[in-house]
Amino acid sequence: MVDMDGRVLRAAGDVTGGDVDAATEFRFRQAGDMVWGRYSGGAIRLGFLVGTSDGAALRLRYSHLNTAGETASGHTVDRVEELADGRVRLHEAWQWDSRDGSGSSVLEEQPIPARTGRDSA
């Protein structure tokens, strides 16, 4: 079972039909089966998500304010993939609730930067 707590993900590219792009950063928290987080960057000024996880999939509702000053909301089911290096990739199937449209996207956990010699003790 993959725990999303503390993970930081970004879209793998621009999302056709969505407001999220490669500059959008998602910060996740998890306690038991409850998952929540916030996202911002690119065309998103601020967004929130909340839902549940069974370890194999996340079921989330999202709501955000974009840089044009418009609000939007929807829901998504994300298949969780654990990569060989321990990072997480989410395969999203999302649908707007506030307007017409649906689509798919991929979010990928960002690698932790390597420490330089100055940083290590």
Q: Within a domain: residue 97?
A: yes
pLDDT at residue 15, rounded to an integer: 82
The answer to whether position 3 is within a domain reads no
Contacts of 35 (CB under 8 A, 6+ apart): 4, 28, 29, 49, 50, 51, 52, 53, 58, 60
CATH of the domain at 66: 2.40.128
Domain-located, residue 117 = no
Position 72 confidence tier, pLDDT thresholds 50, 70, 90: very high
Residue 56 lies in a domain: yes
Whether residue 118 lies inside any domain: the answer is no
pTM of the model: 0.89
% of the chain at pLDDT higher than 70: 93
How many domains is the chain partitioned into structurally?
1
Domain residues for the domain of 77 are: 8-103
- Domain membership of residue 63 (yes or no) is yes
